[in-house]
Structure 1
Amino acid sequence: MWLRTKTLLEPFCSEFKRRQIALTNRIVTELGRIFTAGYARLDRLSLDIRYFEYNPKDDEVDCLSWPCYPGACVSLSDLREFLCGGQFMKNRILLSMAEICKDIEILSIHESAETSPEMLAEFIKAQRRLIKFTLTNWSSEILEILSSLRKQARTLKYMELIRCIFPRNEDYTKLFRGLAECRNLQTLKLEQCQHLSTKLMKPLAEASFEKLQTFIIDTEAVSDPPTTEIKAIIQNSRESLINIGLNVNLSLYADIMETIATFCPNLLNLSVTIERDSEMQQLITLFRSCTNLVELKIPKKWKLFEVKKSLVELGTALPSTLKRIELDGLKFSHETWEEFLDMCPGSINHFAFNCFSKSIFVKIVEKYGKRYSKSIKNEEMLDQTWLPVQVTVDLNN
């Protein structure tokens, strides 16, 4: 069961918002009674109020009462997936559900909102086989939560931390020790987290993630960037990595592209921020070793990087396996775009790019498609876009 509520009322009206929350609470309460009164056994439950534009602390949201209905022990005992999100304290939910739910495999917690890290840690420890854990916007103490993952070392395969604030004044070496023991980890994502330093990442660098397939790191610049640690994670994956995302300042991560080229011959998907010609040259060199790439993304992190000849050089280096290319972080003239596509392999069916003259750029893609007996399949959508714009063009085979 999924509950999501959003109001589009403008201008802002606090009294209306209060009435809206009161009505939603009544609906949630009634749904809770219905789904826990009979013999229904829920497989997935989402208590997510992140889409409320207004939720003052004194207006308690009744999703808090979900685990407390008389039939909850029966209806929630087989729960496999649980999402809880919103600006409210989740202690009561976690405490009650820890007694009922022991077999949750997919857990997503969004917004710390003064939630007790100890209670979340105990909830994690209570599970028999947690497979996927996502934690978003967590600004409270996080050490105990990450340490609790030690209990899930055998089963955890997917770990995602989004916009979490890591401590700067504690013993950094302890923070990721629990996660480092999860040797069956297949996906590790650290996105827009703060204070991701070399000391903090050290346990992950020493871990053996031989099954790691996806590694994504998106971080702001810090005084001691985890260059060595990221390279060690890539190296220790032992050729299992097929998806890599590096939304970082590459100038602070010396030889990282060379490390990928050396240890990731099976790479299929790469997303990397490019801001200098020297970094573009590193990317071009990488394709001498990574010859099976299916998707390449160059996202925008700070500002668009203008390219000319180096983009054309990239076209000559792209492997014939490439199907999708997104150049959101680059800007270039239509002349450079045409030269680039003249050099690209004929395997590409998806393009995303920035342009200020849509018709010219799209016609160049159309010309590329005709060369390989392909046609544009999202032409109607292209007619509805405005400039300047990020354009996406898909081709039919």
Structure 2
Amino acid sequence: MEKLNVDCLILIFNELKAEIRNKYLYSCLLVNREWSHLVVPILWANPEYLNNESKKKFCNTIVSCLPPSLKQLLFDNDIRLPSTIFSKSLTFNYISFFKYLHAKIINNIIEFVFEKEITKSIDFLEKRKFLEQEIYKLLISQCKNVRYLDWNTSLPLQSFPGAQTCFSKLCSIDVNLKHVNSNNLYELAQICRDIKMLSINNYSQDIPGLISLIDAQRDLQGVTFSSHNMKKKGNFKELGRAIARKSCTIKHLTLYNSIGVISHSFLTSLINLTYLMVSNNGGIYDETKEIVEFKKYLENSNFPNLCSIEMGNNLSCFKELAILIEKTKGEIEDVQVFCNFAENTGILVQAISNRCPNIQFLSTYIGINDLIYVETLLKNCKGLIRLYLDNADEIYDIGDKLLGILAKFSPESLTNIGISGNWKYTIDAFTNFLESYRGRKLTSFDINGYYGEPMVAITTEHINVIRKYYNEEIVESSNILDSYSY
């Protein structure tokens, strides 16, 4: 058998999808020494997702990698390493393979070392901070070309030895401004020029260092704003201007709980946006001045290349989104809109029917008069894969009509469907709808709002109908059946 060269093997290993990569790469470790040396760096590049058993093994390996000089330094500072660490030198310097520095990885290592000593005493907190500092120093000195940094510490990571090499190729960063100060960000801006994805957490004021970091980037493509202090408000004029200056490159925008905290005047400048996600969970419910202002900026924006929209709870923006969609080139593939007090729902569905022929995924609320738009949607959008239709806790007598429309007009591609648990459905309509999928299958059929408890519209008889079609392999899964024995 002809031997694959190293470059081909590396390409194959890296091209494996993330969700299956580790499963297969662990087997590849056992093929031979050459394969093992190729696979280990890939496995250790991003060791974020570990179960409890793997987490302990991982931490034990990392602590075993500590050089003798650092082990002695920790001992001199009254930090005792676990007896489980390996006494012999390891085959690889696993730390050097890290490409993703997650704060929780460092926290896991610290908890592993102090497993039997966790207290709130000042002495312990000082030892914990010292260990955190030394681990970061070790990682930064040995890791080259880190791709992702989760900066959730007050430590000046950018000034540690090796930071220039470690962070020069950084392309994604999460910054928690509760811990990271302006000077640290300014100094990082002198190192990093190629950050593509920037996540800003806990902002409370304009920070010059953050502005410098944004301005220094040559191809900033995505920005996430996240605030947990809903009472803190500010203008953030300089931050907004900095984002606007990057309007030619920014394509992804995510806003978590930022309405009422900052002004969103920069929205109208983001003409190349392809992805927009807004969530106001735990935020303002009433139609305040800040929400009215946000909706105004949204309505006046123009995102012709928009492909995906997600709008979270507490924002009734159906009309504004419809206007936004009407101004696009028709390339939208995904729309997810959730709101407990929905108005103008039909306008949104109508806009999607008219302007989104390639849409694949749609989740939205609809009202009692919107079924005509649902029918048009199914006729016009032949690539629809997933459709979830819900309502704002209103009990409508439209269930049978909706199921009839779905049975008659659903395109072949539509295999994931969710409907409201508040609407009324007769058993005949339920049966006829599921029967219409005989021969092509429903990958999933969910009842929105169902959490394992009785609902207005769904009875034991309805559940039995779903179970019948599940047993006949026409329905592959349903949240209704998850709480019951199949």
Residue 191 of structure 1 and its aligned partner are, at CA, apart by: 1.6
Structure 2: gaps of 5 or more residues: 1-100, 112-117
Partner of 1:283: 374
Partner of 2:169: 78
Residue 292 of structure 1 and its aligned partner are, at CA, apart by: 2.0
Distance across 2 between alignment mates of 1:267 and 1:244: 8
**Larger helix proportion of the pair:** 2
Distance across 1 between alignment mates of 2:258 and 2:343: 24
Partner of 2:77: none
Amino acid at match of 1:74: T
Partner of 2:303: 209
* Residues 305, 159 of structure 1: alpha-carbon distance in 2 compared, 3 angstrom cutoff: farther
Deviations 1:263-301 (A, max 9, x none): 112211111024x4224554344323223211112357x
Q: TM-score, normalised by structure 1?
A: 0.74
* Residues 89, 30 of structure 1: alpha-carbon distance in 2 compared, 3 angstrom cutoff: closer
Amino acid at match of 2:214: I
Deviations 1:52-81 (A, max 9, x none): xxxxxxxxxx44322221322221111111
Distance across 2 between alignment mates of 1:330 and 1:27: 54
Partner of 2:353: 261
Distance across 1 between alignment mates of 2:347 and 2:233: 34
1:3 to 90, 98, 103: 103
Partner of 2:217: 127
Partner of 1:11: none
* Residues 375, 280 of structure 1: alpha-carbon distance in 2 compared, 3 angstrom cutoff: closer
Amino acid at match of 1:29: Q
Residue 362 of structure 1 and its aligned partner are, at CA, apart by: 5.5
Distance across 1 between alignment mates of 2:360 and 2:314: 25
Amino acid at match of 2:217: Q
1:34 to 98, 114, 138: 138
Distance across 1 between alignment mates of 2:237 and 2:169: 29
Do 2:211 and 2:242's aligned partners in 1 also have CA atoms closer than 8 Å?
yes
* Residues 310, 100 of structure 1: alpha-carbon distance in 2 compared, 3 angstrom cutoff: same
Aligned pairs for 1:95-174 (under 5 A) are 95-112=186-203, 114=204, 116-137=206-227, 139-141=232-234, 142-166=236-260
Amino acid at match of 1:129: D
The alignment partner of 1:101 has SS state of coil
Partner of 2:278: 190
* Residues 281, 80 of structure 1: alpha-carbon distance in 2 compared, 3 angstrom cutoff: same
1:25 and 2:129 correspond: yes
* Residues 378, 251 of structure 1: alpha-carbon distance in 2 compared, 3 angstrom cutoff: closer
Do 2:400 and 2:425's aligned partners in 1 also have CA atoms closer than 8 Å?
no
The alignment partner of 1:283 has SS state of helix
The alignment partner of 2:358 has SS state of coil
Q: TM-score, normalised by structure 2?
A: 0.62
Residue 254 of structure 1 and its aligned partner are, at CA, apart by: 6.1
The alignment partner of 2:380 has SS state of coil
The number of equivalent residue pairs is 354
**Larger strand proportion of the pair:** 1
Deviations 1:363-394 (A, max 9, x none): 533433565x5574799x967x47xxxx9x9x
Residue 226 of structure 1 and its aligned partner are, at CA, apart by: 5.5
* Residues 265, 99 of structure 1: alpha-carbon distance in 2 compared, 3 angstrom cutoff: same
Amino acid at match of 2:303: F
* Residues 254, 349 of structure 1: alpha-carbon distance in 2 compared, 3 angstrom cutoff: closer
Alignment root-mean-square deviation, CA: 3.8
* Residues 330, 295 of structure 1: alpha-carbon distance in 2 compared, 3 angstrom cutoff: farther
Distance across 1 between alignment mates of 2:481 and 2:103: 34
* Residues 299, 73 of structure 1: alpha-carbon distance in 2 compared, 3 angstrom cutoff: farther
Distance across 2 between alignment mates of 1:151 and 1:329: 46
Aligned pairs for 1:40-55 (under 5 A) are 40-48=144-152
Do 1:272 and 1:299's aligned partners in 2 also have CA atoms closer than 8 Å?
yes
Structure 1: gaps of 5 or more residues: 8-13, 49-61
The alignment partner of 2:379 has SS state of coil
Deviations 1:124-150 (A, max 9, x none): 122111112111126543443233122
* Residues 231, 306 of structure 1: alpha-carbon distance in 2 compared, 3 angstrom cutoff: closer
Distance across 2 between alignment mates of 1:203 and 1:149: 15
Do 1:270 and 1:296's aligned partners in 2 also have CA atoms closer than 8 Å?
yes
Do 1:91 and 1:116's aligned partners in 2 also have CA atoms closer than 8 Å?
no
* Residues 298, 37 of structure 1: alpha-carbon distance in 2 compared, 3 angstrom cutoff: same
Partner of 2:160: 69
Partner of 1:181: 269
1:326 and 2:418 correspond: yes
Do 2:466 and 2:475's aligned partners in 1 also have CA atoms closer than 8 Å?
no
Do 2:441 and 2:476's aligned partners in 1 also have CA atoms closer than 8 Å?
no
Which one has a bigger Cα radius of gyration?
2
Residue 188 of structure 1 and its aligned partner are, at CA, apart by: 1.0
Residue 102 of structure 1 and its aligned partner are, at CA, apart by: 1.5
Residue 34 of structure 1 and its aligned partner are, at CA, apart by: 0.8
Do 1:117 and 1:140's aligned partners in 2 also have CA atoms closer than 8 Å?
no
Amino acid at match of 1:103: D
Residue 158 of structure 1 and its aligned partner are, at CA, apart by: 0.8
Distance across 2 between alignment mates of 1:239 and 1:2: 38
* Residues 245, 29 of structure 1: alpha-carbon distance in 2 compared, 3 angstrom cutoff: same
Distance across 2 between alignment mates of 1:167 and 1:105: 24
* Residues 378, 293 of structure 1: alpha-carbon distance in 2 compared, 3 angstrom cutoff: closer
Amino acid at match of 1:184: N
Amino acid at match of 1:365: I
Amino acid at match of 2:279: E
Residue 90 of structure 1 and its aligned partner are, at CA, apart by: 4.2
Distance across 2 between alignment mates of 1:216 and 1:147: 24
Do 1:197 and 1:226's aligned partners in 2 also have CA atoms closer than 8 Å?
no
Deviations 1:194-247 (A, max 9, x none): 5564544445544442221002223536xxx75654222101112111111222
* Residues 377, 340 of structure 1: alpha-carbon distance in 2 compared, 3 angstrom cutoff: closer
Distance across 1 between alignment mates of 2:219 and 2:334: 25
Amino acid at match of 1:182: L
The alignment partner of 1:42 has SS state of coil
* Residues 229, 352 of structure 1: alpha-carbon distance in 2 compared, 3 angstrom cutoff: closer
